Each structure stands twice: as C-alpha cells, then as structure tokens.
Structure 1
C-alpha cells in the first residue's frame, strides 16, 4: 500500500490506493480544517503535492487556487486520491488553529451535591454450614444495613457476579459496593476490596460543536478537582452542524460517534492526570450538548433534523453505560445526556438555565448563547 508523508513534520500514514489525502492526513493525526466536511465546497483543505502519484481534477481546483498555486502542486485534500507513494506539504492555515477555550466561570451558582451513585463499605460475616446465604444476597443485605437500597431493588449485572466471589474472599469479606440509581431501580456497578468510599468521582462535560470541556468532581464532598479542554475532533469531518450531518448521511455516523467519544476522553484524561484520579473511579458522567451533538455522541441518526419538518429522533434525557459508547470512565458508569426542547434548543441550553439559576429568580433575566446556533432565553 502507498505511504503518504506529510511535511513539514514528516508524519506518515500507510493507506490503500484510492484513499483521499484528507483521510490519509487524518490517519497520520493531522487536524485538517475541513469546513464543508470534505465535500470540496469550502477550499480550506489546501495542500501541495511535492512528489508522488496523486489523482485529482485540476480544473476543479481553479475555483479556489491561482495558476501559480496550481503550478506549485496545489489541490484539495478531500478531492485528491493517492495512487502511489506521495509527499504532501500541509500549510499551517489548512490545520485547525489553537484558540483559547473558556473553562473558568466566575460567579457560578453553587449546586447542591446530589449524585446518583454511592459507595457502601461493608464488613460481612463469612458463610458457614449454619449460614449458607449466597454471596450476592449477603453483600446486598450488608449494603442495606449501611442505609443503602433494599436488596430486591438492586440489579446485579452478570459481569459483577463473575468476579464477586473472588473479591469477597480475597478481602476477608471487607468490601465496598458501588450502587447507582437507574431507571426502574438501582444497579450494582462495582465491588472493590477494602474501603474505597473516598474515591468516588463524577464528570460534567460540555460537548460543543467546536470545543469540549470536562470537569471532574468529587461525589463525596462536591469539590471540583480538575478541569480540562480541547477541540472537538469532529471538526475534521466538518466545521458546522450541517456539514457533519451530511457527513453522517454518507456512512459517516460511526466515525462521528467515535470522534465525539475520543474528544471527551481527551479532556477526561487530561483532567484526571491533573487531579491524580483514576478514570476507572469515575462512576457518573453528565453531558450537555446541542441536539445534533447528542445524537452523534450516542450514534443516533440525526439526518432528519436538517430537512422539513426538522424532526429529531428523541428529545428526552437519555442514559447508557460508558462502555457502550466508548467513554473513558468505569465501563458501568452511567452516562446521562441533558434533554432538549427542540432540534434547535438543545440540552446545552437546559444546562445553562440550571447552572445560571435564572429559573429560580423572581426578576426578569435574559441569557444569550452565541455559538454555532444563536439562542436566547427569557426568564
């Protein structure tokens, strides 16, 4: 297979013949600026072919580039396909440029700590011939004794049951059970040896069209322990919502879902490193984003929101396990997305209303969100 070498950094990618330079650049880890999502309409993905075999329509390039640029090997990365080994120069303006991302918010309303997940430390009596209570029942009764939910309300997944007997016996029957409130009851997420009640964390994520910000918070005392931000990697598939939905319609939905998860994980990893936190001890993740971003994160087809009558698949709050959508937290951690009002008024606006406290004030207030879309809320 051909090798594409990208200058000036000499990043390389081995790709099948017929791959676009844009896809090869993505494989090499280059954040190309593709406003139109790779449809050849914006002219932002300018590259220069230095040597090698590439196929593209020169006449099509004349819409964007001068004769001198074309003579120097200019072409659109999204429209040029690799035939053999090639060396490509990528100008700085063709890459996503670094910008300052706001993460500190002065005057933020204090929010009461009310997590949907708890840890219970229990010291259990070992079984005997006189007490043959099953391991799970013994654990759940111990949790109830620590003011936890009743055993008949707690669902225990198979994967927890598979390692439960070993953990109980290795620990000398001193364990910590992690229980989460879920639709319809409670779920046993994890069982640790010894006392781990002090290591219980949650993450709040702002999933924006351009940027992602993550906050990691202690779910025992409410402190914000670390914050991190980065770009939404979906930019490589289109700068705006419309471009990304069109990309999804062309068999790109799974790629956009993966990029959304990777973007969140990058922030979570940076924040966890800064706070000295194990990602496996994050048991609750709450994500706010606009309606399209929420659909893309969960792998739900957003195609019908950009054509009349503009219908989303769902507007309600949704929850799933982190492991199901590739979020870097405990695999059983609950991931919750904010509900939307409509396809244009998303969960990010609902989160803004709650965070600002405007719904609790008697006086008239106005909130304006100037982003990819423009929203105004009168309180």
Structure 2
C-alpha cells in the first residue's frame, strides 16, 4: 500500500531587512515550519495560541482566522491578514511578515551580592575552567583562572529553547511530541557560542580550558543530555537521572573544539534540580547552625528550609509571569522593558525602563510593581478584580507613541495572583513542616534574576513574601552559577555535595491539603 505524502507549501518570510523561504508541510502550522527552519521566534505558551507573541501578517495566501486569532486581533487586523503563527495552517503558497519581538539583548544576572563580575588580570598560559548555569529562560557562564579562582570573562544570553515554550512543562511537551532532538541541538549550539565568546574575549587557547561545571534544573539537563522526557511530565514525575554526570566536551559539545572534562551538578527530583543544589551549596545552608530559607523565583519556584541537621525542599508552579511570560504586553528583561512603576492619585507618576530606553513592553518585576500600585490605589480590589472602566481593556501604562499600547489587563493580574499565591503557600508549608516560625528564620536568601531585581517591599505588599521576614531577606543573585564556580577544580567538594543531596528531603505539594488551603488564603490582595 502506497503511503500518500503530504505536500510541501512554499512560504516566503519577510523579517526586518531580510527575506527567505521555508517549506511548510500540509497540516503543519507556520510556527512548526519556522522552528524546523531554525528561525528565531517567540512562542512563550508553547504554541497553544495563548500568549499572542507569534504575530505574523499574511501579505499573500492568508489563512482563515482561528478562534485564537479572533480573540487576539480586531476585525480590521484579521481582514488585513494578521494571524498567530501557531494556529495558521497554510493551504497555498504564501508570503508572510514576521512581527515577533526578539529578546536577544535580555538582561541576565551573572553575579551575586558579594562579588559583581568586573573581570580581572590573568596569565594567558594559566589553566582555566568554565562555570555554566542553564536556566529555563536564560544562559549565564563565566571563565575562571584555575590558580586564582577568579572570573576572567562572562557571557549571558537567552535560552533558544524558549521558542518551544516559556516553562518546563511546555518544553517537556515539545520533547515528547518529536522536538527532543531539536531542543537538544538548540541548547548545545547556544552553549558552544557562549564558550567561543568567553575564550575569544580572554584571548586564550582552547586547550587551556580544563573543566566545565554545569548547573541547571532537571528538565534543562534532560534536554541537554538527550534523555527521554516521557516520565518527566506526568505523575509521578520520574526523571531518567538526577545524579551527578561526568562526561567530556568532545561527546557533549562536539563542535566546540574543547577537550576537557564536563561535570553536571546533581539534583533532587523532577522539579528540584542541580541549580538548587548549586544554590544551597553556595549559601552553605548545610553548615548553618540556625534555620534559613532559600527561595529561587522563576518559572518553577523552588525553595528550601534548613540547617546543618536537615533541609527540606519543594517547588511550586509559579509559571512564567515573573519573567514576562503569559503577560499580554510582557517581554523579557530587555532594554525598553518597563521594570519600575509608581502611581499617585490613581495616575502614573513615573515609569522606569531597563537602560532608560523607550518602552517596548513590561518585564516580570514591572508587572509585580504595577499590580502593587493598582492595588494600593484601589483600582484592583482584594479579589484581584480590575474596576471599571479598566476591566475590559486594561489599565494603560504607556501609549507607546502610536504603537500598540502597553497595558495591564485582568488576565495579567490573575497570572501574578496565581504565581504569588503559590510562592507564599510554599513558604508557609515549608515553615510548618520544619516546625519553625518566622522568628526562627535567620536569613531568607532570594535567588535568581527576578529575586535580584524585584522590589522586596512591593513583593511583601501583595502578600508574596511575609512582612515578618522583611529584615531578613537578602537578594543573592545567580546562586546556580555561583555554586558552579565554587565547584570548579574542587574534586574533594563533590563528595561533600553528595552529603548535601543525601540530607535533603523533598516535600511534594501536589494534592497537599495544607498547600491548597494556604494557596486559597493568599490569592487575595491585602496590602501588608
């Protein structure tokens, strides 16, 4: 029996100053064709038609509007040919214009509260090592001189897997639907670019790099190593491996030109990975006599409580809102992203953007600040409801000089509401299970890019963090990278790392009654 092959449809793509052609298989979306062609696209919702970021315009051969298109665009826009790439299934030769916002200049935290990276003097004939943090959204790495353990050069960038979705569940879903090889190739190539830039900046020979240490959450490591994600995304969420991995650069990064050992920091479970192990190790929680809290705020909110006797860890599904994902006008931490908002008398008093550029959208810290200010001005009530006349079209932050206005709408508020409630509920459960009160906590280590830049008072104000811990909160920056740096050239420390992972107990919050009760309690906005 002859199998009928789907026909291939030729699509001409116009993107800024360039033009190229791709082939789209019949019954496949424009987005799928773009991904196969390695185009840089924004698909924060993983192609579900929710985020509205994959905006295109048909100049020829436009498709019928989907239900998602009708929810995203006005009738005039639809008539003019605007569509979402993820729901556009062409049937004939077409010409499209891409309107997807790129985030290549995203601001990534590659430092801690102790030693901001400044570069340092070094000898080119020394031996070197590279520390790497693979985040769901970003990549950060530093080159260190072996003898001094000091950073020589740094590299940061976006994780290109972001094109397959903003959160780990979207990536797992993509891997389980045939995109695993592409996801692995994307991160492999991105890291090789970073290695090349680090070495180029330092002007050293590749042969002088002796070791690479990598930290990352469990999903990012599975995708890097090409592990199956089939059991990672469904209960009971079983990883292929969470232990330490030792390999070499020739196997893992065959096009890098490096010939060195590669070590991957062990994790604990499907949702508490090696990035948290590195963070706990950097903060030395396993050596502290007093009780401390560790909170990493990102798409997957991981947290820990403990001391030298024991450590409890857990994770909550905070979602990508803290990084600008699933927000109507949300973008990453790029120049022009609104990051600070102040209001007075129910009007915008001041807006600040990253690098002082013209507003392009709003990043995670900016969304949190905007929500706090709207609650403070009673434009949002305690249930999270926007008052009239803002309920339908949202509250205008910036008119963007003739472009699409930047607003905070009801859906955005719900995203922040759900995220902040999940984080607070996780904190409360950890405290209760550990048998501690707010008074018992010595330090709260706030880790990650969002935690580094967030206005702590406003985070407390909307109820995400307890007011009682306000004087104990310490933003500590990228502890995943800092932990990886600390482990470079330290073979003896890997045995201590094993002791750390052995003393950790995980609390699974899925279906946990106390977590659900706290979650419902902290959904409300009551300014503290």
When normalised by structure 1's length, the TM-score is 0.69
| Deviation (angstroms), 1:64 | 2.6
| Deviation (angstroms), 1:226 | 0.8
| Deviation (angstroms), 1:328 | 5.5
1:206 partnered with 2:133:
yes
Q: Is the 8 A contact 2:25 2:33 kept in 1?
A: no
After superposition, the C-alpha distances for 1:92-133 in whole angstroms (9 at most, x for unaligned) are 54x447431112323159xxxxxxxxxxxxxxxxxxxxxxxx
User: For 1:353 and 1:367, how far apart are their aligned partners in 2?
Assistant: 7
Of 71, 74, 78, the residue aligned with 1:66 is 74
User: For 2:11 and 2:126, how far apart are their aligned partners in 1?
Assistant: 46
Q: Is the 8 A contact 2:13 2:98 kept in 1?
A: no
Query: Tell me, what secondary structure is at the counterpart of 2:149?
Result: coil
1:237–1:278 distance in 2 versus 1, CA, 3 Å? farther
1:241 partnered with 2:168:
yes
Partner of 2:58: 49
| Deviation (angstroms), 1:214 | 0.8
Task: Answer with 359-368 or 309-318: which moved more.
Answer: 359-368
Partner of 2:109: 102
Of 319, 324, 334, the residue aligned with 2:251 is 324
Q: Going by fraction, where is strand more abundant, 1 or 2?
A: 1
Partner of 1:13: 21
Of 4, 10, 15, the residue aligned with 1:2 is 10
User: For 2:142 and 2:38, how far apart are their aligned partners in 1?
Assistant: 26
User: For 1:234 and 1:303, how far apart are their aligned partners in 2?
Assistant: 18
Partner of 1:177: none
CA RMSD of aligned residues (A): 2.8
Q: Which runs of 5+ in 1 are unaligned?
A: 110-195
Q: Which runs of 5+ in 2 are unaligned?
A: 1-8, 117-122, 308-528
After superposition, the C-alpha distances for 1:24-64 in whole angstroms (9 at most, x for unaligned) are 5446664321022224444321111122x355554552233
| Deviation (angstroms), 1:375 | 1.8
User: For 2:35 and 2:231, how far apart are their aligned partners in 1?
Assistant: 28
User: For 1:319 and 1:338, how far apart are their aligned partners in 2?
Assistant: 9
1:298 partnered with 2:305:
no
1:88 partnered with 2:91:
no
1:108–1:301 distance in 2 versus 1, CA, 3 Å? farther
1:358–1:330 distance in 2 versus 1, CA, 3 Å? farther
Partner of 2:278: 351
When normalised by structure 2's length, the TM-score is 0.51
1:67–1:279 distance in 2 versus 1, CA, 3 Å? farther
User: For 1:23 and 1:293, how far apart are their aligned partners in 2?
Assistant: 21
| Deviation (angstroms), 1:344 | 1.6
Q: Is the 8 A contact 2:218 2:271 kept in 1?
A: yes
- Looking at CA atoms only, which structure, 1 or 2, has the larger radius of gyration? 1
Of 180, 185, 200, the residue aligned with 1:258 is 185
Query: Tell me, what secondary structure is at the counterpart of 1:243?
Result: helix
1:365 partnered with 2:302:
no
| Deviation (angstroms), 1:232 | 0.1
User: For 1:285 and 1:56, how far apart are their aligned partners in 2?
Assistant: 50
Of 309, 312, 323, the residue aligned with 2:239 is 312
Q: How does 1:40-189 map to 2 (within 5 A)?
A: 40-51=49-60, 53=61, 55=63, 58-59=66-67, 61-82=69-90, 86-93=94-101, 95-96=102-103, 98-107=105-114
Q: Is the 8 A contact 1:20 1:78 kept in 2?
A: yes
| Deviation (angstroms), 1:320 | 1.9
User: For 1:68 and 1:280, how far apart are their aligned partners in 2?
Assistant: 59
User: For 2:67 and 2:46, how far apart are their aligned partners in 1?
Assistant: 21
User: For 1:263 and 1:201, how far apart are their aligned partners in 2?
Assistant: 20
User: For 2:68 and 2:140, how far apart are their aligned partners in 1?
Assistant: 39
Q: Going by fraction, where is helix more abundant, 1 or 2?
A: 2
User: For 1:309 and 1:28, how far apart are their aligned partners in 2?
Assistant: 35
Task: Answer with 295-304 or 24-33: which moved more.
Answer: 24-33
1:292–1:11 distance in 2 versus 1, CA, 3 Å? same
Partner of 1:340: 267
Query: Tell me, what secondary structure is at the counterpart of 1:252?
Result: helix
Q: Is the 8 A contact 1:47 1:74 kept in 2?
A: yes
Q: Is the 8 A contact 2:206 2:258 kept in 1?
A: no
Partner of 1:271: 198
1:38 partnered with 2:47:
yes
